[in-house]
Every structure is written in C-alpha cells, then in structure tokens.
Amino acid sequence: MNQKTICPHCKTGFELAFEKFDTTVSCPNCTGKFNPMKELTNAAWERTKTPEFQAEFEARVVKPNQGTTSFMFPIIGLVFCILLGVMLKAQGIAALLWVPIGFAFGFIVTDLMVLPLMLGLPRAIRLVSARQMRAAVFGRIILTPLIWLVLLAIVTFLVGWFLPTAADSLYNNAALNLSANLGMLAIILSPLSKKCRADFRASFDKSYHRFYTGSDESRSP
C-alpha cells in the first residue's frame, strides 16, 4: 500500500511505500531529503496557528457552545488531536495505535471506577437523608468500583510478573500514558455538563431503583 506525500523543498507530489512513510526519504525530483510523517504532523500543527483555523474554531465550537457547560468536549477533542500530532512526531506511526488505546483505557476505567463515586455517592447521600432511598445503596455503589479496582490490580500484577519487558515498555510509553490521562480528565470534567449529569441521574435511577423506599422491590423480603 502506497502513501502520497509532497516534497517540502520543491513541492513535488509522489507516492512511497507505507512502511517508509516515517523514515527519511529522497525526493525523486530534487533529491532533497525529508521525513514525510514529520512534515505531515508539522503541517497539521502549523495549521492550528493560522487565522483561518482560529476563525473556523470560533465559529464551529466557541459560538455554538457559548454560555453552556458542554464547551469542554470540543476542547478535549482538540487536545486529543494535538496530542496525536505531537506523539506522531515524537514516536512515529505507532502513536496512531497507542493514543486511541490510551484514551479509551483512561476513559473507560475512570468511568467505571471514579464516576460512580464522584456522582453516585453525593446523590445517594441526599436521597438517603431524605428517606427516599435505603442506606444499603452505599454498599452497592462502592462495591462495583472496588471490584474493577481489584481486577485492574490483578491484571497489572500478572503482566508485570510474567511480561516484565512489556510492562516496562507500557509504563514508559508516553503516547499511551498521556492519552490515558486525557481520557481520565474527560470523565472527571464530565459532571460540568448538564447533559452528562442528567444522563447519569437516569442511569443511577435505573441501576439502583430497587433501593428506593417506594419501589416494589424494596418491600420484598
């Protein structure tokens, strides 16, 4: 499979093998040497600095979300794209794999382990204080993140024990770790969005409805 690239010296377009896209190549026209991947990421980064990009960002992101709390999601998306470009420049084409994996991992783990405690516990405290929910809900809210934490610890231990080289490589993988932190940040900031809070309340009511004092299940022995 071939990839198209443009020589930065003479602006000649040509194709080269995909596996050579992140290596130093010579232009067939002017014999100038360059790295197509670095040129691509540099061009994408410089594009974000142009007045045209900033005007389009303001028109498509800033103004439509002005006065709302959902503005952070486009910002997270923009930071993700910038991070991907930076990691492509630093680690090469492998960043196309590690950045999405890291973001998804951080997003899912934080959603399963942190969000229920961050939003679920305060809501449960209010409902229990108002005698609208039984106190047994606290155990259920804490149990699920605890199970995921134990499973994550076991998997981490097993990988470190049986595959120490792979564990060390993952630990030092900047693209994986930075994108995982970004995924965690996206979840931690999600309560700032009214829609996310409303979605969580609906999910909370569906998951813990049997703990409500007025539900049929709560009256069953």
pLDDT in tens, 1-58: 566 788 888 988 888 776 677 788 888 888 888 888 777 777 777 777 778 777 776 6
Among 69-73, 98-102, 117-121, name the one with the lowest average pLDDT: 69-73
Report residue 123's pLDDT band, with 50, 70 and 90 as the boundaries.
very high
Query: Which run of H or of E encompasses 82?
Result: helix 72-91
Higher pLDDT, 58 or 169: 169
Higher pLDDT, 18 or 153: 153
Q: What is the CA radius of gyration of the chain?
A: 24
Q: Any residues with CB less than 8 A from the CB of 172 and at least 6 apart, and which?
A: none
Tell me if residue 213 falls in helix, strand or coil: coil
Query: How far apart (Å, rounded) are the C-alpha atoms in residues 93 and 38?
Result: 10
Does pLDDT of 151 surpass 80? yes
Does pLDDT of 219 surpass 50? no
Region 63-84: mean pLDDT is: 70
> Which two tokens mark 108?
């899912």
CB atoms within 10 A of CB 36: 21
